[in-house]
Amino acid sequence: MGANFGDYQLGIYMNGAQGVVPELPMGFAATEELAQTVMDPRVLGYVAGGAGNEHTQRANAAAFDRLGIMPRMLVGAAQRDLGIDMFGHRMPSPLFFAPVGVLGAVADDGDLATAASSSELGVPMVASTLASAPLEQVRASAGGTPGFFQLYPPADRELTESLVHRAEAAGYTGIVITLDTWVNGWRPRDLSAAYLPMLSGQCLANYLTDDRFRKLLAEQGSTDPAAVVMLWASLFGNPTMTWEDLAWFRSLTSLPILLKGICSPEDTRRALDGGMDGIYCSNHGGRQANGGIPAIDCLPGVVEAADGAPVLFDSGVRSGVDALRALALGATAVGIGRPYVYGLAVGGQAGVSHVMRSLLAEADLTMAVNGYPDLASLRGALHRL
């Protein structure tokens, strides 16, 4: 019989018997606390902050605590199977690295370190458009683990087409189109520091290595850093996108396309009717709009409207138990964001892998204790508290 993810716990205890304790923190709160002591305050504010007074960000996380898992005994859950099938790929777990556009600001090699962890663990990465390494290098660093490319659709259609075709050629499994960031939300922490990493030239590797972007830069008549930033700022985000654009996106690639930022059942149906292959239910972790609905409360309606199509989820996930709650509500896969970013800040690639191993171990052991041998048995196991 194969190993369970929970065996990571046994290894820690075995090391402890030899007098060796973990170098990295256990749990989200402790990792966040340590990260606050080592991160550039501006970058910390960008990662930790949300929109407005951050009520929605807090509500995202708090909403999970209203969901309890019913324990079932004597069901023979000594071996657990957390694997999922998605877009023709068998994945060993339902977790994935959610797209984060400032990994290169958190650590110089942040995108590549996360991709290397993806390769090590078999946990897919959704690689951001805003990266410190070109998307081709990120994909190569992820090895044989499937991965997705997250696209912020630029205002220039030829640049959009170029980025999609590069992702397809690089071997990505699918394209995730983010819909809720065509303009930056009101983020007081970032405004107080007057800090937007990209305006300092950070995380723009995918643009600087793109033929279309370089052509536009040459046409602008200057290639100095300030010109690069101004061109990027003029192209980032497409305020004219509508449902009618889905047909054009669909024509660009044969890869599966998922729309990120969907929280409404009606939008879910429109996306699938428009030729999209899956839904990414998310409110951007509360970073883009305050005063919204906790994303986990939107998930059941999205799953029902998706009618069997894959539904990825993120926003507010802080633990392995939170991931199980989302899976029990019907999510196909669950994205981890801030927890692994803090792991990157405190321990580089080792920190990223430690955080994800810990989340997987907690999820696995919780399934074992509560008597759920696989994800299918977990569906419907939640009770509102």
Three-state helix/strand/coil letters over the chain? CCCCCCHHHHHHHHHHHCCCCCCCCCCHHHHHHHHHHHCCHHHHHHHHCCCCCCHHHHHHHHHHHHEEECCCCCCCCCCCECCEEECCEEECCCEEECCCCCHHHHCCCHHHHHHHHHHHHCCCEEECCCECCCHHHHHHHCCCCCEEEEECCCCCHHHHHHHHHHHHHHCCCEEEEECCCCCCCCCHHHHHHCCCHHHHCCCEHHHHCCHHHHHHHHHHCCCCHHHHHHHHHHHCCCCCCCHHHHHHHHHHCCCCEEEECCCCHHHHHHHHHCCCCEEEECCHHHCCCCCCCCHHHHHHHHHHHHCCCCEEECCCCCCHHHHHHHHHCCCCEEEECHHHHHHHHHHHHHHHHHHHHHHHHHHHHHHHHHCCCEHHHHCCCEEEC
Question: Any known ligand binding at 166?
Answer: no
* Whether the predicted model's global pTM rises above the 0.75 cut: yes
Question: Any known ligand binding at 47?
Answer: no
284 carries an active-site annotation? yes
Of the candidates 55, 165, 284, 354, the residue annotated as catalytic is 284
pLDDT per residue as tens, the chain (385 positions): 467 999 999 999 999 999 999 999 999 999 999 999 999 999 999 999 999 999 999 999 999 999 999 999 999 889 999 999 999 999 999 999 999 999 999 999 999 999 999 999 999 999 999 999 999 999 999 999 999 999 999 999 999 999 999 999 999 999 999 999 999 999 999 999 999 999 999 999 999 999 999 999 999 888 899 999 999 999 998 889 999 999 999 999 999 999 999 999 999 999 999 999 999 999 999 999 999 999 999 999 999 999 999 999 999 999 999 999 999 999 999 999 999 999 999 999 999 999 999 999 999 999 999 999 999 999 999 999 9
Question: Any known ligand binding at 18?
Answer: no
Question: Any known ligand binding at 101?
Answer: yes
Question: Any known ligand binding at 137?
Answer: no
